A = this chain, B = another copy of it.
């Protein structure tokens, strides 16, 4: 109801500087760092995530590392075997394709629900994120695109008006963000994706949920092809 103490819905604004090392704080920071290690491809699928190693690398103790790994396991990004450790899950082509299928089914619905509820600030945030993504693409810094894209989609998910729907969708998007790399996009597909974002902003500005629903579906189906995912 009251939406002020929701600590879980922050949209993770990346501070332009990626710098994985340096500003390591603790807890939440450890989670983010490990996640970026996975998303960045530094830890490929199947890699073992040793608590002591990560703890030393980030300059914290094993405790926050353990919490981060548990959280990642709950999100389906890593798999924990009792007394054996955690390893990065492998995404089969079928997994990725299925992920897009499900997102294509439900994220448009989230957009339909969210757009009529959006405040002017929400729309401004969408516009800002869209602009920043275009800048990032022009600069060729595709690494930053994933986080911005997740934040962009997160706005629609968070504003859909149902907390549990949002939770489910986010647990669906988290693996998608990891599996989804913009590096294999063709320039045309990348431009198309950016155009979709701009059009989603326009639909949000017009508060036209059905328009947003339609373009969101288009966006995800296009992404499924751009990412090279084929149906199983």
A interface, CB within 8 angstroms of B = 1, 5, 7-8, 66-67, 70-71, 73-76, 79-82, 89, 92, 94-95, 98-99, 101-102, 105-106, 109, 161-165, 167-169, 171-172, 175-176, 232
| 26 A–B pairs (Cβ distance < 8 Å), ordered by A | A1-B92, A5-B81, A7-B80, A7-B82, A8-B73, A67-B67, A70-B70, A74-B74, A74-B75, A75-B167, A98-B162, A98-B165, A99-B162, A101-B162, A102-B106, A102-B165, A105-B105, A106-B106, A106-B168, A164-B176, A165-B172, A167-B172, A167-B175, A168-B169, A168-B171, A168-B172
Interfacial chain B residues near A101, Cβ < 8 Å: 162, 165
A contact face: mostly helix, strand, loop, or mixed: helix
Partner of A76 from B5, B109, B164, B175 at Cβ < 8 Å: B164
* 6 A-B pairs closest in CB distance: A98-B162, A74-B74, A168-B172, A76-B167, A102-B165, A171-B171
A92 to B, closest residue via Cβ: B1
